[in-house]
Structure 1
Amino acid sequence: MMKKILLSLVLMCVSLALNAKTVKADIVVYGGTSAGVAAAVQAAREGKSVVLVAPENHLGAMSSAGLGFTDSGKTATIGGVSKEFYHRIWLEYKKPESWKFGKKRENFKASGQGTKAMDDERELAWIFEPSVAERVYDNWLQELKIPVYKNTYLDRSKKGVRKSKDGKIVSFKSLKGDVFAGKVFIDATFEGDLMAAAGCSYTVGRESNSVYKEKYNGSRLGKFSGHRHHFQKQVDPYVEKGNPKSGLLKHVSSEPIAPLGEGDNRLQAYCFRMCLTDLPENRVPFPKPENYNADDYILALRYYEAEGRRDFLKNDRIMNGKTDTNNQGAFSTDFLGGNYDYPEADYKTREKIVKSHKDYQLGLLYFLSNDERVPEKLRKDISRWGLAKDEFTDTGNWPFYLYIREARRLIGEYVMTEHDCTGRASTPKSIGMGSYTLDSHNTVRYVTPEGFVQNEGDVGAGCKPYKISYGSIVPKKSECTNLMVTNACSASHIAYGSIRMEPVFMILGHSAATAASMAIDKNIPVQDVDYEHLSEKLKADGQILSL
């Protein structure tokens, strides 16, 4: 029997090797995120041959995986390919057939995050359904005839990335055995897998405030008074109330918390951005997940009993009676502590982590809408919602992508910090702008010295529209000379909390592809691209480099 299994494995490997192919292009983009699509689009417009290699089966990542209530910040900072995406969304909703459920376009009055949902004056739409976003991305790539390789994962072993002696990536190999060779590579993954495999410096977790002389980095221990994502009342964390010996409830950590401002390896929590609906004709009741244990959610019940809050879900309205549903309050869809191993984990471990997030989130919804210990009024509030039947149709109406709010971060030629985001630094070589709040979700749920549960990590500090440096998307020249990094760009934890928004990722994808094209034309390292020439080209293409 064992010999047959070994023979089968050998034959499978031989088959993969025989069917493997080599794909060559001027620019190879790895990552099917919104930034990856934007980079591929701009590369093609620059006249370069380009290929998009996507681990994902669906393109667009968060913009097409539920995040339709755009974190737009100041929309005046959004230009280029990024702005064009929101124009293309607007065009989709000009079509009568796009309005299937609920209010028609002329009666749709929902607003975005400080913006008009449908800005007819500027011909932009800032909120949208996941399926519409995915259609826009797919059609865009087809228009430009850009080859796309889906379900294609980088071989992250030492032999997966081939580099020359002068620091250039020559090619990388996929797990299928295919080889992708190029002149410049763009890592558009949230995880920064290509960047890490190429030997570039990076960090994971939160720096101490002392590293970059920041105010909002590191542990936020004790800084929870009045924050909406923290417990406002005393909630007992023990299995048997008042008895520490009985052990802690599920989702409460026994690990110590670092002092205020100290660094650690904790990550802000991940969740799925769900597309829900309360329209009966399109609603699928929340299914019971695998590994469901109702007692895992006792803390949610105690939270409700203490504070009387029924707003466990942040249901922001989008088109056709649907929502972009996000985390809200002290106990919600964020799975605190469930993601610490994710950035460095192998693919199988990442799959398990993603599955645990789905089980946690679906379990919470099922508990709140079905468990008899939950007050009837709250059960009715939750159970009137369900998964949208016409979204994510090949993944059981569940989003196909987990919201990776932060993973690896490059340590590049320039590190963006809160000083750049708040106007206290003079940021060099702007390639685009950001403007969203310095935003970090909680990282852990712990027990206070007084014996009650509390969350740690939430930050929501204001900032001004700011420039993003070219140096934040290129590695150190000594490490790699033909790689650009968009989503896992070079920034401190708290600066990344503002940069990490979908419009900004598309801005960075656009600028990265333009710079990559210039580096190819001059046959120079990406670090040596002439900034004056680059900035002129970016502005000509509609990028906003300053206000």
Structure 2
Amino acid sequence: MHRRNLFKLGAAGLATAGLAPAISATSKQAVLGDRENDKWLHLGTGKSTLPNRHKQVDYDVVVLGGGAAGICAAVAAARKGSKVVLVQDRPVLGGNASSEMRVHLNGVNRLKTGLAERETGIIEEILLHNRFENPQESFPVWDHVLYDFVMREPNIELMLNTQGIEAIMDGDKIRQVRCWQLTTETEYLLGGKIFIDCSGDGLVAATAGAEYRTGREGKKEFNETFAPDEPDGWQMGASLLMSAKDMGKPIPYRAPSWAIPFDEKNAHKRRKFHAYHEGIWWIEVGSDDDIIADQEINRHKLMGYLHGVWDYIKNSGRFPESETLALDWVGSLPSRRESRRFIGDYIHSERDLTTYKHFPDAVAFGGWGIDEHNPGAMENIHMAPTIFHAHFDEVYQIPFRSLYSKDVPNLMFAGRNVSQTHIALASSRIMATCALMGQAVGTAATMCIEKNATPRQIAQQHINQLQEQLLRDDVFIPKRPANDTKDLVKKAASIFASTTHSGNAELLNNGWSRDIDGKIHHWQSVGLPADVQVEWQDTVKLSQIEIKCDTNVKRNIMMRKDSKNDENFNNTVPEEMVKSISLQARVKGKWQTIETIKENRTRLIKFNFDSIKTTAVRIRVDETYGDPRVKLFEIRAYS
């Protein structure tokens, strides 16, 4: 059997092919935590016993993978009331952005306008949390910021150092996921109603029998301009990064025995060394076959290539400024770009991006250029390391139908393993884009449980409700304004402000939560303090007010190694964001202060209070994080 054909086989297929033992999911041999021969004498009790290394736990939602997509999926489902377990096979969260790999958590960093169109919702909450808790921009501290962000959610159980290795099926649905926790030598069987595979490689989804593909589609299948003429097995490579620091004195360097010398003579001219002390992204290795099976081979190669490049920098004489530099951190875990892509009810492809196709079931967006890395990477060093096939004038939509399995009714995906072509992946693989997918499927998971529905049924029957919930939770969906019929501001008689510098207070009710496509959708004050007032003709009953303030989504706030602070990147808390805000309500003709927030930390500001009857509310902003004016985009009210 050709190695590539293995991609088409699940566990049952492998057994049939004679490549793996056909073991029943409930057979004694399949119990990884079986310790029947464990001769444990516990000296504290004087007894011989057996350690418990096999546990079964049930949840509503099981999320596999603790990168940006998995975190956002887990948090979204948990906040909607689901009991969630988040399974991560590493000791830290963050995936490619963690301290183990240190890739920038990019999103729609820059369109052709030169400005960002940044992602909001949960991923922005995370990045803002990091700006408050990690101003020193330390990657190890970033790991703990992510840990804090997840652990503070009461409905999430976090399992680190744990890998999901097999789906246990009940017919065509997943009943449990078999997991192995390395640090405790324990096998877990995690039951759930909805399973979300955000692991990138998608091992559990593959063992569930969900169809997937690897490699590059040919031009004809999806009429893709940038695809090769014929399909092949190439997948973009994994990168290994490093960083260096200036020691203030000459530091010699001698390459290890397994270093692979840098082939300067044949290297493409676009293999540049700009800011090499912060890592070189093009030190990568791809595959035209089973990139997962080749991981350890490629890891060793990448370590060799990395040291070969550093040896060239230090000892070739071409970089005299490197004399005082020493390696400060060297990655050992490659950050992968591509492997399995699972098939949903729709396969997202190149022309969906380049023609800005409108999807009735859009739930997320992207806009990073179509950035296809040279598949052979360091082993095709004569080629350019990457080709940006296209850049975008505006963001494109991502449909919900690409985020669940067409084969397994209770299985969804978020991240690079979703239903898309290789060329579409070259853009949408960016982590903040994957995070938006994660929030969408996490929100949908709780809807599935509440309605006893499959993801496909959500797509067919309840997509408007899903979209409205995402919009309420501050996810931007291109070309899709919010129109929540439960929002009582929709019934307001008037909305007005104390002062107006730009925009109009009435725009706070128009369904758009950012300035987009050249149109203004905000109100901005002349100075501070400033008020916005919402009036109703008749008394309304309220218990929630929600406000979306400005965090300047045209500027990026992710942590970078170079700590950029310019027109496109902000290395502090956005000065535009509201800091001090209060809510007043007119009750029986008298104004009452309902709540004051002195140190707001989010774009989506929520006031939750005991139900009141009122004819008006007043929102007063006293301070931002530095801007002398305040800008708001939306006000909502709920009973």
In 2, the alpha carbon distance for the partners of 1:153 and 1:194 equals 9
Instruction: Note the alpha carbon deviations across 1:316-335, whole angstroms, 9 max, x for none.
Output: 8xxxxx83x333xxxx5123
Aligned to 1:493: 422
Aligned to 1:398: 330
Q: Tell me if 1:217 matches 2:227.
A: yes
Describe how 1:50-69 pairs up with structure 2 within 5 A. 50-64=84-98, 65-68=101-104
Cα separation, partners in 2 of 1:172 and 1:360, compared to 1, 3 Å: same
Q: Tell me if 1:266 matches 2:234.
A: yes
Describe how 1:38-437 pairs up with structure 2 within 5 A. 38-64=72-98, 65-68=101-104, 70-74=106-110, 75-93=116-134, 98-99=135-136, 128-145=137-154, 146-155=156-165, 160-165=166-171, 167-175=172-180, 176-218=186-228, 261-274=229-242, 276-280=243-247, 288-289=255-256, 291-293=258-260, 296-297=261-262, 299-301=263-265, 303=267, 312-315=272-275, 323=278, 325-327=279-281, 332-335=282-285, 337=286, 339-345=287-293, 349-370=294-315, 374=316, 376-378=317-319, 380-382=320-322, 384-388=324-328, 397-399=329-331, 401-423=333-355, 425-437=357-369
Equivalent pairs: percent with the same residue?
25
Check conservation: 1:58, 1:400, Cα contact below 8 A.
no
Q: Tell me if 1:482 matches 2:410.
A: yes
Instruction: Note the alpha carbon deviations across 1:414-451, whole angstroms, 9 max, x for none.
Output: 11111111125333311111011011110137999xxx
Check conservation: 1:168, 1:482, Cα contact below 8 A.
yes
Moved more, 140-149 or 350-359: 350-359
Cα separation, partners in 2 of 1:406 and 1:533, compared to 1, 3 Å: same
Structure 2: runs of 5+ lacking an equivalent: 1-31, 39-49, 111-115, 181-185, 480-639
Larger helix percent = 1
Aligned to 2:445: 516
Q: Tell me if 1:473 matches 2:423.
A: no
Structure 1: runs of 5+ lacking an equivalent: 1-8, 100-127, 219-260, 317-321, 389-396
Check conservation: 2:67, 2:95, Cα contact below 8 A.
yes
Instruction: Note the alpha carbon deviations across 1:103-159, whole angstroms, 9 max, x for none.
Output: xxxxxxxxxxxxxxxxxxxxxxxxx5422431221111121143222222222xxxx
Q: What letter corresponds to residue 403 of structure 1 in structure 2?
A: S
In 1, the alpha carbon distance for the partners of 2:126 and 2:447 equals 24
Question: Offset of 1:412 from its aligned partner?
Answer: 0.9
Instruction: Note the alpha carbon deviations across 1:301-349, whole angstroms, 9 max, x for none.
Output: 5549xx6x8x743438xxxxx83x333xxxx5123x4x4445442xxx5
TM-score normalised by L of structure 1: 0.70
RMSD: 3.1
| Structure with larger RCO (C-alpha < 8 A, sep 6+) | 1
Cα separation, partners in 2 of 1:24 and 1:458, compared to 1, 3 Å: same
Question: Offset of 1:77 from its aligned partner?
Answer: 4.9
Q: Secondary structure at the match of 2:432?
A: helix
Check conservation: 1:67, 1:130, Cα contact below 8 A.
no
Larger strand percent = 2
Q: Please identify runs of 4+ aligned residues in structure 1 that moved more than 6 A.
A: 281-287, 445-448
Cα separation, partners in 2 of 1:369 and 1:498, compared to 1, 3 Å: same
Question: Offset of 1:354 from its aligned partner?
Answer: 2.3
Instruction: Note the alpha carbon deviations across 1:46-91, whole angstroms, 9 max, x for none.
Output: 1111111111122101222312363433543512111212211222
Q: What letter corresponds to residue 333 of structure 1 in structure 2?
A: I
TM-score normalised by L of structure 2: 0.60
The structure that has the greater radius of gyration is 2
In 1, the alpha carbon distance for the partners of 2:389 and 2:105 equals 18
Instruction: Note the alpha carbon deviations across 1:233-266, whole angstroms, 9 max, x for none.
Output: xxxxxxxxxxxxxxxxxxxxxxxxxxxx322101
Question: Offset of 1:185 from its aligned partner?
Answer: 0.7
In 2, the alpha carbon distance for the partners of 1:151 and 1:386 equals 31
- Count of residues in Structure 1 that have an aligned counterpart in Structure 2: 419
In 1, the alpha carbon distance for the partners of 2:437 and 2:273 equals 31
Check conservation: 1:24, 1:180, Cα contact below 8 A.
yes
